[in-house]
Structure 1
Amino acid sequence: MFRHQKELQFEVKVDRPDPVFARQVQEVLGGQFGEMTVMMQYLFQGFNCRGEEKYKDMLMDIGTEEIGHVEMLCALISQLLDGATPAEQQKAAEDPVTAAIMGGINPQHLLVSGLGGLPTNSNGVPWNGSYIVASGNLLADMRSNLHAESQGRLQVARLYHMTTDEGVRATLRKMLARDRYHQYQWMAAIQELEEKNGVVVPASFPPEAEQESQPEAYEFWNLSEGTESGEGLWAKGSAPDGTGNFVYISNPVPKGQIYEPLIPATELHHDLNGETIEK
């Protein structure tokens, strides 16, 4: 059960309207790494969680918080659009000063949403359910969550430096702080799961099950010019799970055969039977 409270999680109060910035804020609302994505991702992971109850409860807590963040961003976009009208957009073509404020307005904020937030990114591309990850494997999902929060916080930080409106910045600072906590949270969950089951996903398919393919689990193949990649921790030292040592292969060679596919049936019209077609 969900219950809506009228108060926003944090205050949203802009100093002045800015339709151009409203369009930019759409990215962190309905973009690939926006609040709609993490909201749906955490909720679907929580809905479908079959593991320990504490993980399900945490996912539902944070997913529900993200619903509030979507609401905050919609309020922010609405305030940034206050006073925007088709007449003002037309006037922007005549007055350079007005054009600086109104010229870059997203037409859909006028035509589709009536001066409100949209489930789209900053270019108007609709939010897509394929953005979310909810695999049922807790470690895989928590790593995806850390990635999403990292990209989301990065975009909010970039937005922060694209405005001088202190009211907007105050809202963005709250989001930056919460996104920082969420990164801490996923890091803690990842650490706990790795200590329990190991660092490789899925833990239910252990290294020894790879049988004769074991050596390939530790080889770094140099497949580009130069050898600088050999200086990384991924090319020397021990694997994170302690099961083996990395080996740098400076001149890798193919280990497979040359594949020669069969010629398909003539009914498929590949025209590959080697015969000249009479005309």
Structure 2
Amino acid sequence: MFRHQKELQYEVKVDRPDPMLARNVQEVLGGQFGEMTVMMQYLFQGFNCRGEEKYKDLLMDIGTEEVGHVEMVCALISQLLDGASPEDQAKAAEDPNVAAIMGGVNPQQLIVSGLGALPTNSNGVPWNGSYMVSSGNLLADMRSNLHAETQGRLQVSRLYHMTKDEGVRATFRKMLARDRYHQYQWMAAIAELEEKNGVVVPASFPPQAEMESQSEAYKLFNFSEGEQSKEGPWARGTAQDGTGDFEYVSTPKPKGKAPKMAVPAVELHHDLTDKSTDK
């Protein structure tokens, strides 16, 4: 059961309208790593969670908080659009640099939403369910969550420097603080799950099933110009699960044969046969 409370988690109050910034903020609402993505990702992971109740509870706690963050960002966008008009778009386009880079005010915020937020990114591309991850494997999902919070916080940090509006920045600071803590939470969950089951996903896959390929599990192949990658800890030392040692292969050689495809039936019209030999 969900219950909506009218008050926002944190105060949202901009100093002045800024339709151009409103368009940019759409990215952290409906973009790939926006609040809509983490909201849906955590909630679906929570809905589908099996096993220890504490993981489901954590997912539902943070997922429900993200519902509130979606509302906060919508309120921020709406305030940035207050008083905007079609004339604003025309005025912005008078500067050729602004017109070329920004394309002016987002016309959909004027035409479609009536000065409101949209479930889209900053270029008007609708939010997509494929942005979210809910695999049913807790470690895989927690790592995806850490990635999502990492990218989301990075984008809010960049937006922070795109405005001098202290009201907007105050909202961003709250979002940045919460995204930082959410990274801590996912890191803690990841560490606990790795301690329980190991660092490789899925832990339940039988090791004996890949024993014949074990030697291939530790090699870094030099498939690009230069050999700087051999200087990293991923090219030497022991694997994180303690099952083998890394090896750098400077001149990798193929171990398979070139594929030879059969000619398909003529009904598929690949036009691969020599017509001069047809009977």
Normalising by structure 1, report the TM-score.
Answer: 0.94
**Residue aligning to 2:207:** 207
1:249 aligns with 2:249: yes
- Per the TM alignment, residue 206 of structure 1 is displaced from its structure 2 partner at its CA by 3.8
- Per the TM alignment, residue 85 of structure 1 is displaced from its structure 2 partner at its CA by 1.9
Q: Relative to 1, partners in 2 of residues 1:143 and 1:92: Cα closer, same or farther, differing over 3 Å? A: closer
Determine if contact 2:88/2:105 at 8 Å carries over to the other structure.
no
**Residue aligning to 1:125:** 125
SS of equivalent residue, structure 1 residue 248: strand
Which stretch of structure 1 is more off in the superposition, 25-34 or 221-230? 221-230
How far apart, CA to CA, are the structure 2 residues paired with 1:104 and 1:87? 11
How far apart, CA to CA, are the structure 1 residues paired with 2:92 and 2:243? 65
SS of equivalent residue, structure 1 residue 276: helix
The residue correspondences of 1:108-147 to structure 2 (distance < 5 A) are 108-147=108-147
How far apart, CA to CA, are the structure 2 residues paired with 1:163 and 1:109? 20
Letter in 2 for 1:124: G
Determine if contact 1:16/1:165 at 8 Å carries over to the other structure.
yes
Superposed CA deviations along residues 194-234 of structure 1, whole A, max 9, x for unmatched, are 00000000001143320210000111111111111111111
Superposed CA deviations along residues 88-107 of structure 1, whole A, max 9, x for unmatched, are 444656799xx9xx982110
The residue correspondences of 1:75-224 to structure 2 (distance < 5 A) are 75-90=75-90, 104-224=104-224
How far apart, CA to CA, are the structure 1 residues paired with 2:12 and 2:241? 46
Q: Relative to 1, partners in 2 of residues 1:256 and 1:92: Cα closer, same or farther, differing over 3 Å? A: closer
How far apart, CA to CA, are the structure 1 residues paired with 2:192 and 2:50? 17
Q: Relative to 1, partners in 2 of residues 1:24 and 1:192: Cα closer, same or farther, differing over 3 Å? A: same
Determine if contact 1:208/1:214 at 8 Å carries over to the other structure.
no
Moved over 3 A (4+): 87-96
Normalising by structure 2, report the TM-score.
Answer: 0.94
Letter in 2 for 1:265: A
- Per the TM alignment, residue 51 of structure 1 is displaced from its structure 2 partner at its CA by 2.0
Determine if contact 1:238/1:245 at 8 Å carries over to the other structure.
yes
How far apart, CA to CA, are the structure 2 residues paired with 1:208 and 1:235? 24
Structure 1 segments unaligned to the other structure (5+ residues) = none
Letter in 2 for 1:252: P
Letter in 2 for 1:12: V
How far apart, CA to CA, are the structure 1 residues paired with 2:204 and 2:45? 20
1:18 aligns with 2:18: yes
Superposed CA deviations along residues 148-176 of structure 1, whole A, max 9, x for unmatched, are 00000000000000000000000000000
Over the matched positions of the two proteins, sequence identity in percent amounts to 80
**Residue aligning to 1:230:** 230
How far apart, CA to CA, are the structure 1 residues paired with 2:213 and 2:250? 20
**Residue aligning to 1:30:** 30
Q: Relative to 1, partners in 2 of residues 1:275 and 1:59: Cα closer, same or farther, differing over 3 Å? A: same
Paired residues, what number?
274
Structure 2 segments unaligned to the other structure (5+ residues) = none
Letter in 2 for 1:160: Y
Q: Relative to 1, partners in 2 of residues 1:276 and 1:190: Cα closer, same or farther, differing over 3 Å? A: same
Letter in 2 for 1:68: G
Determine if contact 1:11/1:171 at 8 Å carries over to the other structure.
yes
Q: Relative to 1, partners in 2 of residues 1:90 and 1:269: Cα closer, same or farther, differing over 3 Å? A: closer
**Residue aligning to 2:271:** 271
Q: Relative to 1, partners in 2 of residues 1:90 and 1:197: Cα closer, same or farther, differing over 3 Å? A: same
How far apart, CA to CA, are the structure 1 residues paired with 2:93 and 2:177? 39
SS of equivalent residue, structure 1 residue 220: strand
How far apart, CA to CA, are the structure 2 residues paired with 1:5 and 1:277? 78
- Per the TM alignment, residue 258 of structure 1 is displaced from its structure 2 partner at its CA by 1.5
Superposed CA deviations along residues 5-34 of structure 1, whole A, max 9, x for unmatched, are 010000000000000000000000000000
Q: Relative to 1, partners in 2 of residues 1:76 and 1:257: Cα closer, same or farther, differing over 3 Å? A: same
How far apart, CA to CA, are the structure 2 residues paired with 1:26 and 1:91? 21
